[in-house]
Structure 1
Amino acid sequence: MSTRGTAAPADQLTVRRSNLSLVLQHLRDAGPRSRARIASDTGLNKATVSSLVAELIDRGLVSEGEVQRIGSVGRPGLSVELAGGTVVGVGVEVNADFVDVTALDLTHSVVLSARTPADMRALGEERALGLLVRCLREAFDALAGRGCTVVGTTVAVPALVDSRAGRVAVAPNLGWTDTPLADRLAVALAGHPVLGGAEPAVTVDNDANLGAIAEHALGVGRDADDLVYLAGEVGVGCGMVVGGTLVRGATGFTGEIGHAPLNPRLERCGCGRVGCWETQVGLGVLLQGCAHGPDDPLLDPAGDIDSRLGLVRDRAAADDERTCETLERVGIALGLGASVLVNIVNPRVLVLGGYFGLLAPLLLPYVVETLTERVVAPDGGGVEVRASELGFAAASRGGAVVALQTVFADPTRVGSPAV
């Protein structure tokens, strides 16, 4: 029997999966819409949209909201919107002095946020991985108690990362080398009830890349398709979005601006090289510069980083000479390195993240002045410097955004349609 002109079942399933994804992504990007408006916006016919929406409701991915009327005539329709609170993606950042876990639902609302201070390098790789697993299991337990389903977990690491293999190539500030992180976490997390019986989808990426994704998706860079994100932590990372797309480079190792040789004093960096930019602007440099002796609470790795930075702000407000001199020195060096990026990339927005963002009022005058002096293009190339509002949670939130992409790409991963 000829099947010419008739789509094979596999093709029909592929088309439907693609259309489910189209509708779900449209609701994410455009907000609540009536079925008629979705059909008009996407070019799908109304009957198809009604069927797709019904399936997405059955899968727990969308819900019906308020009545909407299009124009002045015709019957009003119920709006359709993303369902919040139950389907979540988890992002976790592993950094030198903390583990930060964030869970976002489909609306990108925060369902869970938890940070655990720890000296991750001092723990050594095995104990640090044990702590990471414990933090994730505690988060999974809490999410399961709220009736959530985790669709994926993305881990942010300050490292050169082979994201396709889920492997940390080298993380100087953690002391990790050639670590198969995704595989190890997948084994450790397998079978948790919050996963709904699915295999744990674990991915790994560079922390600055994920910070840039977070700023572009839900932070201060939402209106800019060309942005540079600078992450100020123990190390210094850079994520670049050009034309709305994250720049990864030929082998995925872009953004290592912290190891650019910009320090003329040639001080030794945690990576083993000398003269790296992060020896001028890394978090440890700032805290050491502001501290009054080795017992200063600024230097306590077990202390919450937000509290320690609050102490820096307090000392600056009190005109503490050592603190003010350090902030000026770091701010000028930050502007110098940022000017290199602005000259190369010409972004519309430069986002200061991590501690750079939290101390932005104290650093910005020096950064902007140095950019004005060093950027070749008129008016600084039109770049606008903005302080991140996500703080040290940017990378974990970016990880959660990435984890949720699996559902937006294929909604059939979650639940099942009513029979």
Structure 2
Amino acid sequence: MRTAKLSLVLRQLRDHGPRSRARLATELGLTRTAVSALVAELADLGLVRAAGVERGGMGRPGTSVELDGAAVCGIGAEINVNHVAVIALDLAGNVVAEHRIALEAHKLAVDEVLDRLVELIERTDDDVRASGAHTIGVTVGVAGLLDRPREVLTVGPNLRWRDVPVGSELRARLGAAYPVSIENEGNLAAIAEAVPGDPNRQDILVIFGEVGVGGGIVAAGRLLRGHQGYAGEFGHMIVEPGGRRCGCGRVGCWETVCGLRALLDGAADPDDPMRDPALSLDERLAELNRRADLGDTRTIAALDAVGNWIGIGAAMLTNALNPSAIVLSGYFAEIGHHMRPAIEEHLLAGVLAPQAGGTRVEFSTLGFTAAVRGGAAVALEPVFDDPTLVAPPRAAALLGGDR
């Protein structure tokens, strides 16, 4: 019961921001004495701190409290076709460390990719400890179909991986320093976009575009996984029968017409400098934006064509699920302002309900960090479930800096 009440207070501060003890007591249906004791315990754990004076209402102003949590971090990591990336967030969502390496994962051995990721995770954990915090857990997102109970990537079409036991391989490399969990990267991106406490982000579809296209479904604030955990593989809806062959082996998948490869094929010839493998993804997107801003007709036509297909697919999903918002992430967010008119036109035309059933098109502000941020949030979730998992700072000091 005590743990549950500590969790209630901590989640209320996460979801709704700083609050006085009196306000917390009213919102949670607890006595002020009980809340004061809970806040004191959370402060002793290093998870909350004083946040100034809360004014308004009757009586004397109260001192508000807010999440602190600088002593504990969650690490999110990602294996994608073009990169591996890692981020560490503290309990309040602040970035403590961040690392990313560009690589062509589909051209490398699985062991090499995993080794590079582990190097980044260990470097990030070193940064966390140097900041005076400790890592509570690591969640790794992978691109492809994941058998979550076994933590095996069964099919990664664009990585060209099959039946890779990602969970056991990473644990063997990392040891028992902290809990490690594995998740689909699209699901992690969706978790990052479903902002706790924001009523406009509780029923959303997140569509993440890079070489492949994936995403996640959030319904009533909870991730929808599906019967066997494979929900969200939007990129493999068949939208163009007889079209281009996909990396999954089928023909006409959505990602063949709106993935990054489709855009680059439409915007630039093979010998165009923008197709140089040495260019990073950010550099390629910056060049696409530059050309579109200058009015280059071929670039604009390619963006319109991809925007049309995004809108067609988004309409299919909206007819089925009627989200409050479709959040476009990954490369879609970086150049989406050029595609918005085409996307919205086809969304409105393709949805049966008036005004697309109230579904809005939004662009992520998280860039390519959505999946790793979602991973860090998942890694921190056990602390919100049971704040006593975190040793008080004084006890941690006695234990020393051991992992």
Counterpart position of 1:352: 328
The answer to whether the 8 A contact 1:159-1:168 is kept is yes
* 1:335 maps to amino acid: G
Counterpart position of 1:178: 163
Query: TM-score, normalising length from structure 2?
Result: 0.92
Distance of 2:78 and 2:116 partners within structure 1? 12
**For 1:137, what is the secondary structure of its paired residue?**
helix
Mapping of residues 119-198 of structure 1, within 5 Å: 119-190=104-175
Counterpart position of 1:401: 377
1:238-261 CA-partner distances (Å, limit 9, x unpaired): 211122221111111011121111
Distance of 1:228 and 1:202 partners within structure 2? 26
1:170-203 CA-partner distances (Å, limit 9, x unpaired): 1111122222222222232236xxxxxxx42111
| Deviation (angstroms), 1:78 | 2.7
Distance of 1:249 and 1:20 partners within structure 2? 31
Any gaps of 5 or more consecutive residues in structure 2? 396-403
1:250-307 CA-partner distances (Å, limit 9, x unpaired): 111011121111123431111111111111111122123222334x343344432111
Counterpart position of 2:9: 23
Q: How many residues align?
A: 395
1:307-352 CA-partner distances (Å, limit 9, x unpaired): 1100011112233333222112111111111110011111111111
* 2:135 maps to amino acid: V
1:206 correspondence with 2:184: yes
* 1:87 maps to amino acid: V
The answer to whether the 8 A contact 2:325-2:361 is kept is yes
Mapping of residues 250-329 of structure 1, within 5 Å: 250-294=227-271, 296-329=272-305
1:68 correspondence with 2:54: yes
Counterpart position of 2:399: none
| Deviation (angstroms), 1:228 | 1.0
Distance of 2:22 and 2:301 partners within structure 1? 61
The answer to whether the 8 A contact 2:80-2:143 is kept is yes
* 2:41 maps to amino acid: E
Aligned residue among 81, 100, 109 for 2:94 = 109
The answer to whether the 8 A contact 2:84-2:102 is kept is yes
Aligned residue among 79, 87, 94 for 2:72 = 87
Q: Which moved more, 1:326-335 or 1:43-52?
A: 43-52
Distance of 1:121 and 1:293 partners within structure 2? 20
Distance of 1:99 and 1:21 partners within structure 2? 33
Any gaps of 5 or more consecutive residues in structure 1? 1-14, 192-198
* 2:50 maps to amino acid: E
The answer to whether the 8 A contact 1:235-1:258 is kept is yes
Distance of 2:289 and 2:57 partners within structure 1? 53
Distance of 1:269 and 1:381 partners within structure 2? 31
Q: Which moved more, 1:316-325 or 1:372-381?
A: 316-325
Change (3 A) 1:149 1:417: closer
RMSD of aligned alpha carbons: 2.1
Q: Which moved more, 1:140-149 or 1:125-134?
A: 140-149
Distance of 1:399 and 1:183 partners within structure 2? 18
The answer to whether the 8 A contact 1:151-1:403 is kept is yes
| Deviation (angstroms), 1:218 | 6.8
1:99 correspondence with 2:81: no
1:97-127 CA-partner distances (Å, limit 9, x unpaired): 0112222111112222222111111112111
| Deviation (angstroms), 1:36 | 2.5
Distance of 2:8 and 2:348 partners within structure 1? 44
